[in-house]
Structure 1
Amino acid sequence: MSQSSKIVHMTTVHHLYDTRIYHKECVSLKKSGYDVSLMAPVDELNDSQDKQNKVEIIPLKKYTNRWKRMLLGPIHAYKKAKKMKADIYHFHDPELIFVGWLLKKKDNTVIYDVHEDYYTSIMQKEYFSKPIKKLIGKLFNSLESFLIKKMDLCLAEKYYVDRYQRGTCILNYPILNEKLINKKIDHHTASDKLLYTGNVTVERGAFYHAGIPKTLKDKHVYFVGKCASELAEQMKEHAGEKHNYLHFDGIDRFVEREEIDDYYLYENWIAGLAIFPATDHYLKKELTKFFEYMSAGLPIICSNFPKWQAFIDQHQCGITVNPDNKQEWIDAVDYLKNNPIEAETMGYNGRKAVLNELSWESQETKLLAWYDQLLNK
């Protein structure tokens, strides 16, 4: 690796302090000695330098309108990126794929970081009709296949190899937090509170989780992650008389990593939730929140999709339920409340798995070795 190697990470969609992009990839590369810049939308242009890790911030305009962002955001990003003459351009959004194609030269590397299964993501968009979704999905597949031929691929999920058939898996395992790892959770004194972290959407079980207070007596649900205000109101309506048992931190705003960790630290939660409806987009995913719950020593209560069932069985770290069978929700929570030793064992098993094999430290090593290989090609 050359100390002068210039690395530019690019996003027009994600928050500046997105956990994967900023806290994991950019900070790891910076600590290793690379000259790292992050191009991302920001609210204020007062500061172009991150004080803590000295990752140079290249501000992009933040668009509140999705269509303006998709049209104008890439143009803005390309104009700035081409002036930087980076050794590696590493972009994180499919709407930047044409920008990546334009930036690719013989003497540089362009990395397409695949965060999602974008085809199934398109197919579950509610604001498109089914025929339109199929057309967009087909066009996206064709365009993507053509444009990425000369790019290197960074895959956030193991199963993405089935779709792309090449690429390097840099998985979204959690950064080890000593306070979380060392926190003792007394399941004998667990509260009547359940935790959900991450973005709140209908596809991620918003209404299932909102219905828990009606189904389970006196159980509070805390949502820590970005949630549209309109959706939050709909969830409260869904909870009916129990709407005061829903608690939101993140309405219309991004919740930073440190804030989420504080929630893990300062409460004896019954479990971490991930009761999702069955959609093609999530059936094969190992959710990032799984690893975070495990790191915090929380048992997981999640949907019984085959891949998720296999994951829970392998690590013995939680309980799976049929998302459409509320009696199974009741049984799962009652079991954890009434069997604190078993709940503690699940939390211990999950934390042990993260420490031994599922932490970002293992992926950081892969990321740095891969970058070194790319720069020495």
Structure 2
Amino acid sequence: MTPRRILVVTVVHHPEDARIRHRQIASLLAAGWQVTFAAPFSGHGVAPPTTVPGLTAVDLTRSTGRRRVLAQRDARRVLRERGPRHDVVLLHDPELIPATLGISLPVTVWDVHEDTRAVVALRSWVPDRLRGPLATVASALERSAERRMVLILADDDYADRFAQEHLVVPNTTPVPPDPPPAGTPDEQGRLRVVYLGSLARERGVAELVAVGEQLQARSGGRAVLEVMGPAHGASVIAQLETAHRAGHLEWLGFRPADEALGRLDGALAGLSLLHDVANFRPSMPTKVVEYLAHGIPVITTPLPRAVDLVERSGAGVVVDFHDVEQTVATLLSWVEDPAAAAALGRQGHALAARELDWSVHSQAFVAAMQRLADAPR
């Protein structure tokens, strides 16, 4: 049987994005698909892979800030030249929707990662006077995509924005069977508190910096905040670099998913200090899922989906938005009693194993792609 072929395209996301590369593409490769992955490898300082069986990498121009036109043109060229040779095209950025106009493509899927309209308010490069018009354009893009494409949603709550029902492929994660207990000291004898994810003002960078400084000082260096993820915006980068140089936290920058997830093992706790903004309210924070999966307790701000996970699992603490003092006090209590953190972590891991394991959800994703590939053109 001829292998099914899929063209996966992003001009925004990092080529090592966990949802795209390490969940969806990895699952398709394991199912015998031939995958062409077009992504901004050079733009993110990553060498395109050349030795992964079944995977062909294509380097695209990176879309960032106000520099987006060249990336759209480059993506449109790849879609026009390579798209017809595949059974399915899978898009991961809303700005790729207009790039498909006038091109003869096989069945095309848009993976809706976030609230497209609400996220406009978070883009620092968008002038204030254009936020309203661009939010309207984002809504129009969603309606256009629903008419012309198959949609899959990263969260159940995105369904209200669309007229039809669409498959939900949630941001779950592989759940290791037996992670080390939370509060396991590192090779230097320190207890690590971790943050994993993108870094921006609305994602709590100022709070992370303050927590790191207080944790280091009040624990006498027994505990350290380890921050993993790419930073967005010059002021955010400056904050993190200053805190790193001062020894208030350790900022490791972007790390590939396998490495980053491995560093969660044995941590004392995981932080999710997202602010109360529209794009975050309906979403399940992936970092919270990953912390639970790796058996470490969570400290989260009171966004609804995170609260639900923490309360049902009994695996953490909910703190008020911007509340550095409560966050640090909770962490210090676990520094004094790592066994308590380990017990909470075990409860979270049990819930993750029951409900949040990607090895279960991946089956629905691959089956959906197979149905689309096999459907008559």
TM-score higher than 0.5: yes
Q: Is 2:144 the counterpart of 1:146?
A: yes
1:157 to partner: Cα distance: 1.4
What is the alpha-carbon distance in structure 2 between the residues aligned to residue 77 and residue 365 of structure 1? 29
**Counterpart of 1:233?**
238
**Counterpart of 1:22?**
21
Q: Is 2:55 the counterpart of 1:58?
A: no
Equivalent AA in structure 1 for residue 143 of structure 2: S
C-alpha distance 188-99 of structure 1, shift in aligned 2 (>3 A): closer
Q: 1:279 aligns with which of 277, 280, 289?
A: 277
What is the alpha-carbon distance in structure 2 between the residues aligned to residue 351 and residue 16 of structure 1? 28
What is the alpha-carbon distance in structure 1 between the residues aligned to residue 248 and residue 139 of structure 2? 43
Residues 119-149 of structure 1: CA distance to partner in whole angstroms, max 9, x if unpaired? 1110222333444211110122123312431
Residues 85-143 of structure 1: CA distance to partner in whole angstroms, max 9, x if unpaired? 121100100110112344465xx210001111121110222333444211110122123
**Counterpart of 2:225?**
221
Equivalent AA in structure 1 for residue 345 of structure 2: G
Alignment check: 8 A CA contact 1:191 1:269 kept: no
* Greater alpha carbon shift after TM alignment, 287-296 vs 332-341: 332-341
Alignment check: 8 A CA contact 1:89 1:100 kept: no
**Counterpart of 2:121?**
123
* Structure 1: runs of 5 or more not aligned: none
3-state SS of 2:202 partner = coil
3-state SS of 2:236 partner = helix
What is the alpha-carbon distance in structure 2 between the residues aligned to residue 117 and residue 364 of structure 1? 22
Equivalent AA in structure 1 for residue 110 of structure 2: Y
Alignment check: 8 A CA contact 2:300 2:317 kept: yes
3-state SS of 1:83 partner = helix
Equivalent AA in structure 2 for residue 163 of structure 1: R
Equivalent AA in structure 2 for residue 183 of structure 1: P
C-alpha distance 103-148 of structure 1, shift in aligned 2 (>3 A): farther
Mapping of 1:76-225 within 5 angstroms? Answer: 76-84=74-82, 85=84, 86-103=86-103, 105=105, 108-164=106-162, 165-177=164-176, 181-186=178-183, 191-216=190-215, 217-218=218-219, 219-225=223-229
CA-based RMSD of the aligned residues comes to 2.8
* Greater alpha carbon shift after TM alignment, 294-303 vs 92-101: 92-101
Equivalent AA in structure 1 for residue 289 of structure 2: F
1:48 to partner: Cα distance: 6.3
What is the alpha-carbon distance in structure 1 between the residues aligned to residue 183 and residue 127 of structure 2? 49
C-alpha distance 154-211 of structure 1, shift in aligned 2 (>3 A): same
Equivalent AA in structure 2 for residue 194 of structure 1: V
Alignment check: 8 A CA contact 2:288 2:298 kept: yes
1:259 to partner: Cα distance: 2.4
* Structure 2: runs of 5 or more not aligned: none
What is the alpha-carbon distance in structure 1 between the residues aligned to residue 197 and residue 345 of structure 2? 20
Q: 1:248 aligns with which of 246, 251, 257?
A: 251
Alignment check: 8 A CA contact 2:285 2:305 kept: no
3-state SS of 2:229 partner = strand
What is the alpha-carbon distance in structure 1 between the residues aligned to residue 117 and residue 41 of structure 2? 28
1:56 to partner: Cα distance: 0.9
What is the alpha-carbon distance in structure 2 between the residues aligned to residue 205 and residue 258 of structure 1? 24
What is the alpha-carbon distance in structure 2 between the residues aligned to residue 196 and residue 58 of structure 1? 31
Equivalent AA in structure 2 for residue 317 of structure 1: A
Mapping of 1:30-45 within 5 angstroms? Answer: 30-43=29-42
Residues 63-95 of structure 1: CA distance to partner in whole angstroms, max 9, x if unpaired? 6x6333x21112212222222212110010011
Count of residues in correspondence between the two structures: 363
Equivalent AA in structure 2 for residue 255 of structure 1: R
* Greater alpha carbon shift after TM alignment, 108-117 vs 2-11: 2-11
C-alpha distance 134-295 of structure 1, shift in aligned 2 (>3 A): same
Mapping of 1:285-300 within 5 angstroms? Answer: 285-300=283-298
* Greater alpha carbon shift after TM alignment, 26-35 vs 303-312: 303-312
Residues 3-31 of structure 1: CA distance to partner in whole angstroms, max 9, x if unpaired? 33221001111122221111111121122
Task: Provide TM-score, normalisation by structure 2.
Answer: 0.87
Alignment check: 8 A CA contact 1:27 1:53 kept: no
Alignment check: 8 A CA contact 1:321 1:328 kept: yes
**Identical amino acids, percent of aligned pairs:** 21
C-alpha distance 309-48 of structure 1, shift in aligned 2 (>3 A): closer
1:33 to partner: Cα distance: 1.6
1:182 to partner: Cα distance: 3.5
Task: Provide TM-score, normalisation by structure 1.
Answer: 0.87
C-alpha distance 166-345 of structure 1, shift in aligned 2 (>3 A): same
* Greater alpha carbon shift after TM alignment, 37-46 vs 195-204: 37-46
